[in-house]
A and B are shown apart, each in its own frame.
Chain A
């Protein structure tokens, strides 16, 4: 069983659709993240949840809506996206930094490749 699992791996959606990306971690971590990877750009941090509370939004458009029902699950709800939102969306988890022994290392899932038509 992989540490961080993302579904679906591939998603094609129209601009008027509503879809969700799911992430699940089996590592006992208490912080989870959504990153966006676009072509020729750095990985961009979108959202952070630490101890199930959102701690950073990073000015992400409201058409992206995260949800973290518990420390093991993270969702990214997608609504009325634009073609420029097509990218690889990566989920990651870690220990929250305020805990002793936290190294800052993130464990990533394999990503969800999103194409918006």
Chain B
């Protein structure tokens, strides 16, 4: 049973608009959440994270929102740019992760259209 779910395999957004990627989790022990971005033929790269003690974290065009009661987080990208086209993975961990590893979702393929 998947503990981290990304229910949208793909998302198409027009350049300049807001991209919203969603992620749900089932394990209430998760207390740290991360988003990774992956281009074809490359490894995933860290994008942004949030601790469970917060409900929002912002870094430039990227904002992650956490709703603990709903066990839901989302990544907002605004404005969306062509270089944002990639697969985005949501990940979660217990107690700050590190040597416990991360639990990943299946990913959402974001396509930014000109």
CB within 8 Å of B: which residues of A?
4, 6, 31, 33, 35, 40-43, 45, 48, 50, 55-56, 90, 92, 94-99, 102-111
Counting residue pairs across A and B whose Cβ atoms lie within 8 Å, the total is 87
A105 contacts across to B, CB distance below 8 A = 34, 46, 49, 97
Between A and B, 14 residue pairs with Cβ closer than 8 Å are: A42-B2, A42-B4, A43-B91, A45-B103, A56-B101, A90-B43, A94-B98, A97-B99, A98-B98, A102-B96, A102-B98, A104-B32, A104-B97, A107-B46
With known contacts A41-B106, A42-B104, A110-B42, A104–B98 Cβ distance under 8 A: yes
B-chain residues with CB within 8 Å of residue A45 when the two chains form the complex: 101-103
Q: Report whether A110 and B102 are in contact in the complex, using a CB–CB cutoff of 8 Å.
A: no
Given A6-B43, A103-B97, A110-B43: 9 more A-B contacts, CB < 8 Å: A4-B43, A43-B44, A95-B98, A97-B95, A103-B96, A104-B34, A104-B96, A106-B46, A108-B36
Give the size of the chain B interface in residues (CB under 8 angstroms).
Answer: 29
